[in-house]
Chains A and B, each alone.
Chain A
């Protein structure tokens, strides 16, 4: 197992716990999709996996090693984070942002070398935005920013990617662009944990789905088994129907979509 979470619990000091006894594992090439309503602990769980939140109970293991014994630098070589595209205070260029992904590999007192620059360039190549390298991060579109942050995670050369709503506030075209990249990365052997508010994306890009509610994982398994009428309707407390439809010319023949019923 690449990433293994055992009986994890977390609470901020003097607050009720936000995550209660969560266990799951992610293998090489897996894309795990976390579904759950707002405020259910998805982000808190990710922050635990990234070492930002120090866990109260349980264990997180990567390749068999407990992450609580690792420094930020050691952990950053194993796990990379793709945050939601936010604003930054200073006018950084795209290349400035991507090369920051090399930080866990750069000596404490040195700066990126020519080799780091080369790695950052090929990370930009991989997401297809090399032409943006001298643009200002604050002036490119939301979809492009998301690609920049993915490139930064790739430059980090960590095998596990944690993505916080990678398709949030993107248009249809950009959503599919990101999902395709996620599938491509998984086929290269990356392990990916992502959150989303679009259950459809579970069918499109993931091979594992975990449903989180009230700080617990209530169901985990393959998208076909987990993303069902009953589970979704309970989760979002609104009626949702999962329908299958045939698409001509597609290999698998059948695709599934989730539709909320406005009753």
Chain B
């Protein structure tokens, strides 16, 4: 009986979170230098589905659909992707201090993007390079664990070490590219990219990231119970009937795919994938079947709010990665002081 009460409490929490996310979503359209009234925003958005008489100006439509819409959707996608892959990695590595960057995905993406920029590739090619190098970095870490891990317990440690080595390697390569880059135009571009931000987002970028992120979310959601059991220990999971190697592989593929897609359109945004899963765990407990959807919703809402601050609080846009760290680091300390249950 206790448990059932507990479970309806859980679905209420998820419903409330979702409603909060919807509220943030719609109010984000109202924020910005060019003022658009709420009724106009709703009409413009609805006109995409329904046939409505036009009561708004072309400028309003451009601002809502071409400027704010892609940016808001991108914030939702990137925040959701980073948080849910962070939650998945924390369960996989049985370590609450793991972030999505652990296997080298961000460093790889950073190198891909800076390479594209120094070669003066068009913007879409820069994003594709970021995406591909992100995948390459993780694939290399995974390969290292397969070759030198010797199977069993050791391979997870070797996987983390491999990720550290590959991250360091790509960081060095990024420094090389920065050293060679033209300090007047390319170097600032690379530096801004590495700080992360959504100011250049277009509807095409959103489409580019949408498919891998949704696909990976669905993949993780399908194996949510298997991941949950895996988080208590690999060997115990085997004796509980879990195909540990398969689940580990699927988690790494999904988490990598969604993080790579997110980072390639947003640049490097830290802290979200680390603290959001913690907040979600404080709210609904460590059961991955609940943790995953809650991390997704909270991560989307959080990054959208932070991005609203980034684009509105000063006349010049603040890079998103700086803000997430500025907000994230003190917030993490606050979480530490609040934690009663402990996470070890």
Contacts and interface: CB of A to CB of B under 8 A. Distances in A.
A80 B241 CA distance: 10
A88 B91 CA distance: 11
A71 B239 CA distance: 11
Contacts of A109: 222-223
Interface in A222-248: none
A52 B241 CA distance: 11
Nearest 4 Cβ contacts at the A-B interface? A76-B241, A104-B241, A90-B286, A81-B239
Contact of B241 (A92, A103, A138): A103
Contacts of B224: 111
A110 B289 CA distance: 9
9 contacts: A75-B241, A81-B239, A88-B94, A92-B285, A103-B226, A109-B223, A111-B224, A121-B3, A133-B2
B239 A50 contact: yes
Interface in A101-129: 101, 103-104, 106, 108-112, 117, 121
Contacts of B343: 89-91
B3 A133 contact: yes
Interface string B1-21: 011001000000000000000
A97 B236 CA distance: 11
B235 interface: yes
Max count, chain A CB within 10 A of own CB: residue among B91, B95, B242? B242
A156 interface: yes
Interface in B206-245: 222-226, 228-229, 231-233, 235-236, 238-244
Contact of B285 (A71, A79, A86, A96): A96
Contacts of B231: 88-90
A90 B95 CA distance: 8
B186 interface: no
A103 B240 contact: yes
A101 B240 contact: yes
B149 interface: no
Given A96-B285, A111-B289, A138-B342, 16 more contacts: A51-B238, A52-B235, A71-B243, A72-B241, A73-B241, A75-B241, A76-B240, A77-B241, A81-B239, A87-B344, A88-B231, A100-B240, A103-B225, A121-B3, A133-B2, A133-B3
A60 to B, nearest CB: 14
A104 B225 CA distance: 11
A72 B289 contact: no
A97 B226 contact: no
Contacts of B226: 103, 108
A103 B240 CA distance: 6
A95 interface: yes
A88 B233 contact: yes
Given A76-B239, A81-B236, A89-B344, A134 B2 contact: yes
Contact of B229 (A71, A87, A95, A103): A103
A90 B280 CA distance: 13
Contacts of A89: 94-96, 231, 343-344
A109 to B, nearest CB: 5
Contact of B341 (A81, A96, A136): A136
A74 B241 CA distance: 7
A16 interface: no
B239 A79 contact: yes
Nearest to A120: B3
B311 interface: no
A100 B232 contact: yes
Nearest to A76: B241
Interface string A55-81: 000000000000000011111110111
B287 interface: yes
Contact of B232 (A76, A97, A133): A97
A99 to B, nearest CB: 9
Contacts of A156: 240
A80 B286 contact: no
A108 B223 contact: yes
A173 interface: no
A252 to B, nearest CB: 36
A91 B285 contact: yes
B150 interface: yes
Contacts of B3: 95, 117, 121, 133-134
A129 B217 CA distance: 37
A214 B341 CA distance: 44
B281 interface: yes
B241 A93 contact: no
A13 interface: yes
